[in-house]
Amino acid sequence: PLSSDEIIAKEKANMNNKRFQHCVRVSETSRKLAKLNGYDEDKAALAGFVHDYAKQVPIDEYREVIKTQDFDKDLLNWNRAIWHGIVGTYFITRDLKITDPEILQAVWRHTTADTEMTTLDKIVFMADFIEPGRDFPGVDEARKITYEDLDAGVGYQLAHTLEFLIENRNKIYPRTLEAYNVWSVKSK
Ligand code: DGI
Ligand code: FE
Ligand code: FE
Ligand code: FE
């Protein structure tokens, strides 16, 4: 495996400083959420740190990887917003030599969420949304809810994201909608 210093150097070289600072804050927030939820803090901090590793990979490179590696070819109909988590796992394994399936799954799910989420999946998903650099209407409520109840935070974020996507007439990734039905909808 690579040393922490090597991972930090590679991450820094793969993105602009603004995104690097976001990744540092997601790492710190993931550590905090891990402590609150009885999860391995170092593992959560690493997953949070690398979650956006591939966010600035060129589109052509993504298309090439989706075509040649074992990814659902329907991904070619999507964009970097969806690719950087799912296909980002490929670049994280290739470049950072991280193979821990729990970390890779949390990165995979960090944008779209999923119908079933592990504690680590939820930690990274929520840390990305509430890290201290985030500033949008509702973020303080999101922080309060998430620190009280991680699952409630997931439901809040998915409803918030769906509202945002629909407001802007964006295409909804089906898995995001399925996750919303599980985590955000009140029981009958
Ligand atoms: O990478 P970050 O900006 O830190 O955060 P993120 O990975 O949560 O990405 C958020 C972006 O992804 C935001 O612009 C909304 C977009 N997104 C999330 N779910 C969907 C989506 N975009 C589309 N088109 N469809 C989705 O279902
Ligand atoms: Fe992201
Ligand atoms: Fe997110
Ligand atoms: Fe992020």
CB 118 within 8 A of CB 105: yes
Report pLDDT digits (tens) over 16-71: 999 999 999 999 999 999 999 999 999 999 999 999 999 999 999 999 999 999 99
**143 CB under 6 A from ligand 1?**
no
Q: CA 176 to CA 152: how far, in whole Å?
A: 16
What homologous superfamily is domain 4-183 in, according to CATH?
A: Hypothetical protein af1432 (1.10.3210.10)
- Does the structure show a pLDDT above 90 at 147? yes
Extract the tokens encoding 99.
């193979």
Positive or negative, the CA dihedral 17, 23, 25, 27 is: negative
pLDDT at site 188: 61
Is residue 153 within a helix (H) or strand (E), and if so which, with residue range?
A: helix 150-167
Q: CA 11 to CA 50: how far, in whole Å?
A: 7
Domain ranges, ordered by start, for the chain = 4-183
- Does the structure show a pLDDT above 90 at 187? no
Nearest C-alpha to atom 10 of ligand 1 is from which residue?
A: 111
**162 CB under 6 A from ligand 1?**
no
Provide the 10 A C-beta neighbour count for residue 24.
17
Report pLDDT digits (tens) over 81-134: 999 999 999 999 999 999 999 999 999 999 999 999 999 999 999 999 999 999
Task: Name the nearest CA neighbour of 46 among 104, 86, 113, 94.
Answer: 104
